[in-house]
Amino acid sequence: MTVGSAKEWMDNLVSYYRDFGLNAFIYWPGVDDDEEGELEQIKLFAERAILMVREST
C-alpha cells in the first residue's frame, strides 16, 4: 500500500514494474466522506503519478 506524494507513487510503481514485472495496478482512493473528494483523488493520481510513471519507463 502506498500513501504519499505523486513522486512516492511513481517511485513505488516503477519499482514494482522493474523489480517484480508487475504491469497492472489497482488504484483505490483513500477514504473520503464525499464522492467529489474521491473523484479528485483519482484525477490527481491519473494526472500526476501515472504521467510520471509513463515518462520514467
| Start-end of H helices in the chain | 6-20, 35-44, 51-56
Q: Is the pTM of this model over 0.75?
A: no
- The confidence band for 32, taking pLDDT boundaries of 50, 70 and 90, is low
Share of the chain above pLDDT 70, in %: 96
